[in-house]
Amino acid sequence: MSEVGVTRAPLEGHFAIDGSQRLVEWDHGAAAILGVPVGQALGRPCYTVVRGEDAFGRPLCGPKCPVLKTLRQGHVAGRCHVRVQGVPGPPSRLLCELVARPGALGGALGRLRSADGGDRSLAHDLAAVTTLTTSFSPSSFPGSIASSLGYLRDITGADWAEVFLAEPDGQGMALTWRHGRFRSAFFQKVHFRFNEGYPGIILATQQPILTDGLGGDSRFLRSRVKDLGFHCYVGVPLLCSWGVAGSVGVVFRSRRADISRAFDLLSWMNTPLGLMVEVGLLRLSDTLRAFTEGVWDEATEPSRALKDILHQVVTTSGAQGGVLNLLDDKGTGVAQRFIEGAAPRFLCPTLKSDPRACPALAQRLGVALYGYRASWAPPCQRNPLGGGPHCYCIPLVGDEEVVGLLQVYYGSQGGGPPTWNLVPLEYLGRSLGRAIHSGRAITERLNRAQVLARGALHSPEVSGQPSQRAWPKERESLSPEIPYLDIRCLGPFELYRQGVRVSPETVQRRKVLTLLKILLTVKNHGSRVPKDTLIDHLWPEDPLQVRTSQFYVLVHELRRLLEPADARGSWVFVLNEGDRYYFDQHGPCRIDVREFEATLHLGQKAEAEGDMESAIAAYEGAVDLYRGDFMEDDPFAEWCQWERERLREAYLEVRQRLAALYGRSGAWERAVKGLRAALRIDPLREEVHRALIYALWASGRRDEAVRQYQACRELLLRELDVAPLPETEHLLERIRQRPMP
């Protein structure tokens, strides 16, 4: 290094460079080191300054600067040591730290400080956190988090950084990403239950943990880490909309680690990182859900759909192979099995003998099989899986019911934790479980529709006399099981014509579908709706003459949408008698409301006759048809309020009747599931709460029954300012006196 001159400016300071590596900001100290003409910068006579270089003679901020090279490679921070000569006394040794500035323009914020100093720079730390959080990408969140851990280590000076993800329903935490050495010690325990170890405690309390006495803390359960001399730990929860999505932590071997600074850095980034994890997991589930909706519908053979879904899961998870095991109705055996890729062909002995003994199915939690067989759960040790690959066993839960087990196989775990993909697969498993449950409902609904179409709906006591109106010849070529129109009013409104869904976006006037919905409202069936009444519902504020002309246009477009092409004035569905209009349901159409009420009527008739098995089957069919409230996508329309309330009451009633029938046969778990579904529709219905409390008590879950009472009481007091009825209080006293009814 060559001496250029002498400066009186201090040798420490800050500076900034833009994306073209040009200095844009500096102070006295940085100006002295970087060779900035101080006089020009400050409006004073120019001093001769000293230019700083690194140990290899490369100038700072030049094209070959090692720190800038680090930033150009994608790192958030970089540092190097600098020797400065040219001032009185021995050469000065400084530390140059650069942090990438967020934004498209790039550049960096620099700091020059004593190599031995430990003072903090708030601007430096904030720039680092801002750059980290703005670099997150939900579409590739695994890679974003893995990269950010390396940057976090650089910024904090930690020896190890790790991220745990919370399992669905918050039952535990699994190590998913890590950065640092000594992985075998930190991999000693990679899964923690709720309130177990540091990660489990963070999950339970939603509070951070800071300690500089790691060796003497019994809550830290990885003894090998303590044996290696690690002393300091900082961990904070990753916060998201549902609570805690996981935790991020850094660990230090040095006793002099600045854990206060590390805590600040982690606290500033925990919410953005948690929200990014949430979005990433939801995107993963939504991608699978969208795929399943595309391949599994009423026209798809179920086995073909399941094979396609399994292929998508294996591809999405980057696995070598997978096995989809579907349980029978009782959950005591494997009914169907599908294999994809390089997966073992044998059936797990535990699934073969008794699936209820499988730890993944019993606890509804994913299980990772890796390492020594002796460390596996006893039922899993019977699995002949070799020691090379490792396997994830993921329960498939749909609508609170376990429908199967997904086994995903990997050749090796590489350098990642053994549980690196456990939590994402558990979220995929939940999405897949719901898809299978919905797919089964589609198949069962189609079967019931076929049965009803063969006679039940044409019974005079259910649907009235069939229409004698002639039907166009094109209908003769259609399958009798597929109606010309399929209309679904329970839940979001859907219209299918000849098996093809009519998208609302393809209908030019939105009021065309509104007119159809009004005509389909059940309270109008059997009577003709006056034109003026329809007009008042469609245009409550426009002048009558304008509304009348628009009404006839809507009727014409609705007939073009619904009627067969060769109807030629002999309308089949949208009929009128003078100025009174109605929708003729006796034509070749399926309407879920009509089917719901017909199935409900069959169940009531079977129950009155003492045929409980047929009553349960019919009630279950009615429940499956109720996708949601009547005309759910018109929540404020007055013309459907009465009918919505009536059908909701019918649904809640059938849920309670079904729960009572389940209770008679001892199927209390199914009763609990159904009553919880009823409370999702109307959480303020005390009699449903009371039935659920009793069902929980009868199923041997007395503690849950008491908690359900407490939840009911708090809800009634908060929302209605009333206490529970004496019947509910009396039930609580009975529960306190006896373990079971």
Identify whether residues 66 and 175 lie together within a single domain. Answer: no
Q: Is residue 166 part of a domain?
A: yes
Q: Indicate if 107 and 141 belong to the same structural domain.
A: no
Q: Is 641 within the bounds of a domain?
A: no
Q: CA 149, 155, 160, 164: dihedral to nearest 10 degrees? A: -40
pLDDT of amino acid 724: 93
What letter would DSSP give residue 506?
G
728 vs 721: CA distance, rounded Å: 16
**One domain for residues 468 and 435:** no
Q: In what helix (H) or strand (E) does residue 643 lie, and over which residues does it extend? A: helix 641-664
Q: Are residues 269 and 148 in the same domain?
A: yes
Identify the H or E element spanning 718. helix 702-719
C-alpha to C-alpha distance for 152 and 576, rounded to whole angstroms: 72
pTM of the model: 0.54
Which residue, of 120, 144, 163, is where some domain finishes?
Answer: 120
CATH number for 512: 1.10.10.10
Q: Give the pLDDT score at 459.
A: 43
Residue 685 lies in a domain: yes
- Beta-carbon contacts of residue 636 (< 8 Å; ≥ 6 apart): none
Instruction: State residue 437's pLDDT score.
Output: 74
- The Cα–Cα gap between 270 and 53 comes to 37
**Cα dihedral 436→441→444→446 (10° resolution):** -110
CATH code, 111: 3.30.450
Residues 142, 274: Cα–Cα separation, whole Å: 13
Are residues 155 and 279 both part of a single domain?
Answer: yes
The residue from 66, 88, 120 where one domain ends is: 120
Residue at 535 is within a domain: yes
Claim to verify: residue 147 and residue 275 sit in the same structural domain: yes
CA pair distance 623, 147, nearest whole angstrom: 48
Domain range for 479 is: 458-593
Q: What is the pLDDT of residue 543?
A: 59
Asked if 247 and 150 sit in the same domain, the reply is yes
| 490 closest CA partner among 655, 651, 656 | 651
Instruction: Report the alpha-carbon distance of residue 485 to residue 658 in Å, rounded.
Output: 30
pLDDT at position 509, please? Answer: 82
Q: How far apart are CA 80 and CA 109, in angstroms?
A: 14
Same domain, 280 and 229: yes
CATH code where residue 375 lies? 3.30.450.40
Mean pLDDT by 10 residues, the chain (741 residues): 37 67 66 55 37 48 57 61 58 71 64 62 65 62 72 83 90 90 90 92 91 91 92 92 88 89 85 83 78 61 80 84 86 86 83 87 87 82 68 84 88 74 88 77 55 44 41 42 85 88 84 90 67 84 68 88 72 87 85 90 90 90 90 86 91 93 90 90 91 92 90 91 92 89 84
Where would I find the H helices in 468-591?
510-520, 531-538, 544-562
248 with 356, same domain: the answer is no
Say yes or no: 177 and 153 in one domain: yes
Report yes or no: 485 and 520 within 8 Å, Cβ to Cβ: no
Using alpha carbons, list the distances in angstroms from residue 344 to 320, 322, 348, 382.
Answer: 11, 8, 10, 15
Q: For the chain, what is the domain count?
A: 5
185 and 150 part of one domain: yes
Instruction: Mention every residue, 6+ apart, whose C-beta is less than 8 A from residue 289.
Output: 431, 434, 435
- Cα 274 to Cα 318: distance, rounded to the nearest angstrom: 23
| Token code pair at residue 205 | 């309390």
Q: What is the pLDDT of residue 42?
A: 42
DSSP E strand stretches across 524-678: 529-530, 574-577, 580-583, 589-591
The residue from 554, 578, 593 where one domain ends is 593
Q: Which two tokens stand for residue 220?
A: 């830290």
For the CA atoms of 198, 202, 203, 207, the dihedral, rounded to the nearest 10 degrees, stands at 170
Cα dist. 205→170, 201, 210, 215, 243 in Å? 12, 6, 14, 22, 11
Task: Spell out where 588-663 has E strands.
Answer: 589-591
The answer to whether residue 644 sits within a structural domain is no
439 lies in the same domain as 464: no
| Residue 621 within a domain | no
Strand partners, 436: none
Cα separation of the two ends of the chain? 90
* 703 inside domain: yes
8 Å CB contact between 284 and 424: yes
Q: Residue 719 maps to which CATH number?
A: 1.25.40.10
- The reply to whether 602 falls in a domain is no
φ/ψ bin of 14: left (φ > 0), alpha (ψ from -120 to 50), beta (otherwise):
beta
